[in-house]
Structure 1
């Protein structure tokens, strides 16, 4: 990876058993329970974000949202299969190296990394600096896990942990880079 001047920021909800979505990508369990927690600090978090990075699977879910929730923020989608001109609301990049160049070129300070696979890839590449995980009080069993096997330990430092309305627990960690 090239040198970077931006921070990789994660803000994501999971079930207590660590799933970010059902196996079919559905977020019904998160939306219905998440409404109880209100904004959960999302608006404040987005003030730090200059651009959003998401993978194809997350984009496939998000593109169905009405209205498009990222109107004020550029979105880069990592995909080797999507066409570049498929959706004028997003920019398609083929890999993390290319995306990093885009962020550096635009002078980004905060990059919101979204989607389990993209978060995992960015963690492995050393591009995540902060993780904010909001744990929703539900077990959904099967689904898409936030974390898979990591090639080595990734040390974290607790920044804060708060209980939100509806019993959601939000924890922020800083990633310790060597």
Structure 2
């Protein structure tokens, strides 16, 4: 069985996933938190995932949160720089210094079937390696003007097949795509 790699991410209407300094507080407005969302919810998505893969910068952001948000889901952080895994995350977080193709092969050998790929550079690296199968992108009704772009460093084009688009009353627009071929 082939391993599936999915992206589930929010971005501003102008395509940014964070402010230039990595800040994501713009995602946490009260009207966003309380809204009923249409489409694929995070809870229903994460329930299908065997392992979450993120880059070092995303991990550093997550480690600044008051609580570890991925309880019950193994996390692998990709980093070519040595990183100390905090004691409370032993057995929950693994740091690896491998390329995306090698990682996917290793995780397939471990019996993993569905990977959640997160973080701008990590998503781009997996796309470039031809490993992303599905993109679920929720556009948040805000223009940031500048920041960390979701797709800033792609070296080649990618064909997408639209699966669905859902809108929510708070202005969120979620589109789901299958990645069909490289171009």
Flag whether TM exceeds 0.5 (same fold): yes
- Aligned mate of 2:94, from 67, 91, 95: 91
Aligned to 1:48: 48
**By how many angstroms is 1:141 displaced?**
1.0
Distance in structure 2 (CA, Å) of the matches to 1:157 and 1:37: 28
User: Would you say the 8 A contact 1:48–1:110 is kept in 2?
Assistant: yes
* Aligned-partner Cα distance in 1 for 2:36–2:106: 33
- Name the structure 2 match of 1:22: 19
**TM-score (structure 2 length as normaliser):** 0.88
> Aligned-pair distance for 1:153?
1.8
Does residue 102 in structure 1 map to residue 100 in structure 2?
no
Is the counterpart of residue 176 in structure 1 residue 180 in structure 2? yes
Deviation at 1:142, TM superposition (A): 1.2
Structure 1: unaligned runs, 5 residues or longer: none
- Asked whether the 8 Å contact 2:158–2:180 carries over to 1, the reply is yes
Aligned mates of 2:101, 2:84 — CA distance in 1: 17
Aligned-pair distance for 1:166?
Answer: 0.8
- Runs of 5+ consecutive residues of structure 2 not aligned to the other structure: none
State the 1:164 CA deviation.
1.6
- Give the superposition deviation at 1:48: 1.3
Please give the alpha-carbon distance, in whole angstroms, between the structure 2 residues aligned to 1:34 and 1:13: 12
Structure 2: how far apart are the matches of 1:153 and 1:37?
A: 34
The answer on whether the counterparts of 1:84 and 1:91 sit within 8 Å (CA) in structure 2 is no
User: Aligned residue for 1:66?
Assistant: 66
Contact 1:37 1:168 in 2 (8 A): no
The separation in 2 between residues aligned to 1:50 and 1:168, in whole angstroms, is 27
Higher mean C-alpha deviation, range 59-68 or range 127-136: 59-68
Aligned residue for 1:158? Answer: 162
Partner of 1:31: 28
Count of paired positions: 175
**Is residue 163–residue 170 contact of structure 1 (8 Å, CA) maintained in 2?**
yes
The answer to which of 35-44 and 157-166 deviates more is: 35-44
Please say which of residues 140-149 and 6-15 is displaced more in the overlay. 140-149
Contact 1:55 1:114 in 2 (8 A): yes
1:117-132 to structure 2, matched below 5 A, reads 117-132=121-136
Q: Name the SS for the 2:8 alignment partner.
A: strand
